[in-house]
Amino acid sequence: MDAHERITRNTAEVVTEEEIETLADDPDGKRAYVGYEPSGVLHIGHMLTANKLIDLQEAGFEVTVLLADVHAYLNDKGSFAEIRSTAERMRDQFIAYGLDESNTQFVLGSDFQLDEDYTLDLHALELETTLARAERAMAEIKSGDSVKVSQAVYPLMQALDIPYLGVDLAVGGMEQRKVHMLARDVLPSIDREPPTSLHTPLIADLGTGEGKMSSSTGVTISMEDSREEIEEKVNKAYCPPTADPEPTEEGVERENPVLQVFEYHVFPRFETVVVERPEEYGGDLEYGEYDALEADLESGELHPADAKGALAAYLDRLVAPGREQLAE
């Protein structure tokens, strides 16, 4: 797998392809970043972008993880003391999950976002941005029904973080796309380069296959889960024998979240996936790539129940180091 393929695999979008190709031509020493609000325990959403960070490290990138304590405070997630304590715990969980500690820099937002130069540049961006434009950028990630002034400033800070962290590539889920497009629009107004960005897919709700998996509104997998809890959640997951389920009766589009988790979480981390089955049902199945597993599910060779059993086992292997770290 060459650098370009490793950088772009399992992505929903890159902006722009030409810029990504330039990075892939000489990735050694380039810097990529993801920002996370310190929120307690890593869940499957954090893990998806962390998988991409691991890909980037293997391609030659250095990685910065922004533990965004100021952003979390602006989004009403607690006091600074509480948020910073949570940030320290999350740092250890990311390392337990598989990020290369020697090649990962963890930065608190408050390390630079309270400095005078940053504040003056932020005010300059505020002068260039309408409230409606900022609200559109924040729409996917705001908390509450209405936008507070602090939340309108939030996406401008995300835009400004990119040049202040000195990174070459901004990484996030598709819910971050509007923020990265805002950054491309407004940063040139303060003589900063528009960022290259890479967006990972969103996993559908585990129980229904609809919308987006969310720890606040539905079932998700986190590092706090025991093996038994993971098995219970996965066994209840929506998993029709296809990668392209029919919409609901109300016309809502659906995905197969079991297959999505295999594609975006399991296969990027394991060279071979074994689905264990009794000999009377054909014996074990072994897969070296996701497409083969999907094809067997479509053909009926792989039963959804067997797929779920394997998924639970591999998810448990992924979260076990973090679970042990949390126990300590």
CATH number of the domain within which 195 lies: 3.40.50.620
Residue 180 φ/ψ, nearest 5 degrees: -65, -35
For tokens 């910065």, what's the residue? 64
Q: Indicate whether 256 and 319 sit together in one domain.
A: yes
Q: Report the C-alpha gap between 272 and 287 in whole angstroms.
A: 6
Which is nearest to 196 in space by CA: 221, 172, 216, 215? 172
Q: Indicate whether 16 and 143 sit together in one domain.
A: yes
Annotated binding site for ATP: 215
Number of domains in the chain: 2
Please give the average pLDDT of every successive group of 10 residues along the chain, which has 328 residues: 96 97 97 94 94 98 97 91 94 96 97 98 95 83 69 93 98 95 96 97 94 74 96 97 96 97 98 96 96 98 98 98 91
Sign of the dihedral through C-alpha 183, 185, 186, 187: positive
pLDDT given at position 233: 96
Residue 39 φ/ψ, nearest 5 degrees: -130, 10
Q: Report the C-alpha gap between 207 and 196 in whole angstroms.
A: 34
Q: Report the C-alpha gap between 54 and 48 in whole angstroms.
A: 10
pLDDT given at position 76: 87
Q: Indicate whether 7 and 92 sit together in one domain.
A: yes
Sheet containing 62-67: order of strands: 13-15, 196-200, 169-173, 31-36, 62-67, 104-108
Q: Quick check: helix, strand or coil at residue 139?
A: coil
Q: Report the C-alpha gap between 217 and 134 in whole angstroms.
A: 25
Q: Report the C-alpha gap between 147 and 97 in whole angstroms.
A: 34
Q: Indicate whether 27 and 63 sit together in one domain.
A: yes
Instruction: Report yes or no on 190 lying in a domain.
Output: yes
Q: Indicate whether 172 and 259 sit together in one domain.
A: no
Specify the pTM. Answer: 0.94
Number of H helices, E strands in the chain: 13, 8
Q: Indicate whether 61 and 98 sit together in one domain.
A: yes
Q: Indicate whether 178 and 296 sit together in one domain.
A: no
Task: Please say which residue of 141, 165, 200 terminates a domain.
Answer: 200
Annotated binding site for L-tyrosine: 33, 154, 158, 161, 176
Which is nearest to 128 in space by CA: 160, 163, 80, 99? 160
Q: Are 36 and 90 in contact (CB under 8 A)?
A: yes
Q: Indicate whether 132 and 56 sit together in one domain.
A: yes
For residue 282, give its domain range. 227-326
Q: Indicate whether 40 and 96 sit together in one domain.
A: yes
pLDDT given at position 55: 98
pLDDT given at position 218: 65
pLDDT given at position 219: 78
pLDDT given at position 142: 59
